[in-house]
């Protein structure tokens, strides 16, 4: 890379496709639903969805309805199913019916509203009945499950509801908690069957459980992190899993300054040089998703060597101490990426800044241009 730039997020589409193909193969015959919520973990949903289709993905999860409707209206991935489950009080159920978006349904009110919209349109509502197995987000409580199922079966028999799925999500608190949640899910499925319900796709696992607990895959697993090459299990790297990191965040040095020992650096002078040294200015800051916690041991990589972030990360920039090394304006600074050039991985960056890699990925700001590599021929 020779051209200079301020800051960028490089998204490796070949890595994304390879990760998804590998997941599809490993999960088969279980379906892999690709989670593309939060603008595909900020990588750009409009670009990522067609890549996933090319890799063989036929189900997408968007959390909210709006992005699914937008992609449908744009004619993207028409052959695929879109699944949304975070519904507001005034959701556009008519649009979900018209544009064939699958919805996770947790309450009787949601079920009636979705079915009404289908009746009006002379069409079907694509329903995934949602049960709360312990996370206490979406989903009806087990005590309300039988009533929800009974009504859904009646609406199915009326021809306005199609029972596409049964859906839950686990807390990932401990093996014991997740096992208990899976038992609640199994019981809910058995009870639903006794009430006359059969589901096309039963699904409760995301990346971690999908990978580690084959008995919890049921008919479909919902995978976000794995696809983006983000490690989800402590002590396990993406490459241990045969996955390639998709996202690299970098910036170019815009200024270098030789300073004497005792020089205070950035806001509040939280760092003072202990010798004559060179400071390099890196134009990416907390507005771009670089945590203010990224100091004290967080290192970036320039020309294959690591250098510490020194002083406070500001909104638009931070400084690194490069000693006597010949770092020059225009040099590329890698914050995190594949690790292939000596840089931190997103998992290491997250550990050092006190968070999880999913948050690091989602927080990369809009001001950071996305540059796509590895497009299909
Ligand atoms: C975010 C999310 C996922 C994906 O989780 P990963 O750990 O990133 O694979 C799956 N299911 C639901 C309900 C989610 O909210």
- Within a domain: residue 8? no
CATH number at residue 29: 3.20.20.10
**Mean pLDDT computed over 143-159:** 98
Which residue's CA lies nearest to atom 3 of ligand 1?
A: 206
Which residue's CA lies nearest to atom 7 of ligand 1?
A: 207
pLDDT band at 3 (very low <50, low <70, confident <90, very high): confident
Cβ neighbours for 306, distance < 8 A, ≥ 6 positions apart: 299, 300, 342
CATH number at residue 351: 2.40.37.10
Which residue's CA lies nearest to atom 15 of ligand 1?
A: 63
**By the 8 A CB rule, do 203 and 220 touch?**
yes
pLDDT, tens digit, 9 for 90 and up, residues 360-374? 999 999 999 999 999
What gap in Å lies between CA 45 and CA 176, rounded to an integer? Answer: 35
Average pLDDT, the chain: 96
| Nearest residue to 296 via CA among 275, 265, 323, 327 | 265
The verdict on 307 and 269 lying in the same domain is yes
List binding-site positions for substrate.
Answer: 137, 315
The verdict on 208 and 305 lying in the same domain is no
**pLDDT the model gives residue 372:** 98
- Within a domain: residue 317? yes
The token duo for 352 is: 């050092």
The verdict on 117 and 177 lying in the same domain is yes
**pLDDT the model gives residue 2:** 54
The verdict on 29 and 159 lying in the same domain is yes
The verdict on 17 and 146 lying in the same domain is yes
**Mean pLDDT computed over 134-163:** 97
The verdict on 225 and 79 lying in the same domain is yes
pLDDT, tens digit, 9 for 90 and up, residues 33-87? 999 999 999 999 999 999 999 999 999 999 999 999 999 999 999 999 999 999 9
What gap in Å lies between CA 110 and CA 71, rounded to an integer? Answer: 23
Q: What is 110-128 written as a DSSP string?
A: HHHHHHHHHHHHTS-EEEE
CA atoms lying within 13 Å on the CB side of residue 314: 15
- Within a domain: residue 213? yes
pLDDT band at 233 (very low <50, low <70, confident <90, very high): confident
| Nearest residue to 339 via CA among 221, 259, 243 | 243
The verdict on 198 and 278 lying in the same domain is no
Give catalytic residue positions: 37, 267
Indicate the number of domains in the chain: 2
- Within a domain: residue 130? yes
The verdict on 192 and 266 lying in the same domain is no
Range of the domain at 223: 13-231
Which of 206, 210, 218, 230 most suits a substitution to test ligand 1, by most atoms within 8 Å of the C-beta? 206
Q: What is 299-337 written as a DSSP string?
A: EEEETTEEEEEES---SS-EEEEEETS---TT-EEEEEE
- Is the confidence at residue 1, as pLDDT, over 60? no
Domain boundary among 231, 259, 280: 231
- Within a domain: residue 2? no
pLDDT, tens digit, 9 for 90 and up, residues 75-89? 999 999 999 999 999
The verdict on 257 and 225 lying in the same domain is no
Domain boundary among 231, 266, 284: 231
List pocket residues of ligand 1, CB cut-off 6 Å.
35, 37, 169, 206-208, 222-226, 232, 358
- Within a domain: residue 6? no
Measured CA distances, 217 to 55, 87, 232 (Å): 20, 25, 17
The verdict on 171 and 222 lying in the same domain is yes
- Ligand 1 atom at shortest distance from the alpha carbon of 227: 9
Where do the DSSP E strands lie in the chain?
A: 7-12, 31-35, 59-63, 81-84, 101-105, 125-130, 161-167, 201-203, 220-223, 247-252, 255-259, 264-265, 271-272, 277-282, 299-302, 305-310, 318-323, 332-337, 344-345, 370-373
Which residue's CA lies nearest to atom 4 of ligand 1?
A: 224
Q: Give residue for tokens 């990932």.
A: 172
Quote the pTM value. Answer: 0.96
The verdict on 58 and 126 lying in the same domain is yes
- Within a domain: residue 1? no
Cis peptide before 158 (omega within 30 of 0): no
The verdict on 272 and 179 lying in the same domain is no
SS3 58: coil
Q: Which residues pair with 18 in a beta bridge?
A: none
**How many angstroms separate the alpha carbon of residue 34 from the centre of ligand 1?**
9
Which of 63, 222, 246 most suits a substitution to test ligand 1, by most atoms within 8 Å of the C-beta? 222
pLDDT band at 234 (very low <50, low <70, confident <90, very high): confident
Cβ neighbours for 168, distance < 8 A, ≥ 6 positions apart: 130, 131, 132, 133, 135, 139, 181, 184, 185, 188, 203, 204
pLDDT, tens digit, 9 for 90 and up, residues 186-217? 999 999 999 999 999 999 999 999 999 999 99
Domain boundary among 169, 201, 231: 231
Task: Name the DSSP letter for residue 129.
Answer: E
β 247-252/59-63 pair status: unpaired
**pLDDT the model gives residue 280:** 98
Q: Give residue for tokens 């199922």.
A: 149
- Within a domain: residue 238? no
The token duo for 129 is: 């009945």
**How many angstroms separate the alpha carbon of residue 222 from the centre of ligand 1?**
6
Cα first-last separation, the chain: 21
- Is the confidence at residue 283, as pLDDT, over 80? yes
């Amino acid at each position: 890379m020779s051209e200079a730039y301020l800051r960028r997020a490089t998204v490796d589409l070949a890595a994304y496709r390879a990760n998804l193909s590998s997941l599809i193969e490993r999960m088969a015959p279980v379906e892999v639903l690709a989670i593309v919520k939060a603008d595909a973990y900020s990588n750009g949903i409009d670009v990522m969805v067609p890549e996933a289709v090319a890799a063989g993905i036929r189900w997408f999860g968007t959390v909210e309805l709006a992005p699914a409707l937008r992609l449908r209206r744009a004619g993207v991935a028409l052959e695929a199913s879109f699944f949304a489950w975070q519904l507001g009080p005034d959701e556009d159920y008519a649009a979900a019916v018209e544009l064939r978006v699958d919805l996770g349904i947790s309450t009787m009110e949601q079920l009636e509203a979705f079915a009404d919209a289908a009746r009006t349109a002379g069409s079907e509502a694509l329903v995934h009945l949602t049960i709360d197995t312990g996370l206490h987000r979406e989903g009806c409580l087990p005590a309300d499950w039988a009533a929800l199922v009974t009504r859904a079966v009646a609406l199915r028999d009326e021809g306005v509801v199609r029972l596409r799925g049964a859906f839950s999500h686990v807390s990932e608190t401990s093996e014991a908690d997740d096992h208990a949640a899976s038992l609640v899910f199994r019981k809910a499925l058995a009870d639903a069957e006794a009430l006359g319900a059969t589901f096309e796709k039963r699904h409760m696992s995301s990346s971690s459980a999908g990978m580690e607990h084959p008995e919890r895959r049921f008919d479909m697993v919902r995978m976000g992190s794995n696809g983006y090459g983000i490690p989800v299990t402590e002590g396990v790297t993406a490459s241990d899993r045969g996955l390639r990191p998709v996202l690299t965040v970098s910036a170019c040095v815009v200024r270098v300054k030789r300073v004497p020992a005792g020089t205070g650096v950035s806001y509040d002078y939280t760092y003072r040089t202990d010798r004559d040294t060179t400071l390099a200015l890196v134009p990416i800051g907390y507005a771009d998703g670089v945590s203010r916690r990224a100091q004290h041991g967080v290192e970036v990589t320039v020309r294959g060597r690591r250098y510490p972030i020194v002083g406070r990360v500001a909104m638009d920039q931070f400084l690194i101490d490069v000693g006597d090394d010949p770092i020059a304006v225009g040099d590329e600074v890698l914050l995190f990426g594949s690790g292939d050039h000596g840089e931190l991985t997103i998992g290491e960056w997250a550990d050092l800044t006190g968070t999880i890699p999913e948050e690091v990925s989602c927080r990369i700001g809009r001001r950071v241009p996305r540059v796509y590599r590895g497009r299909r021929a």
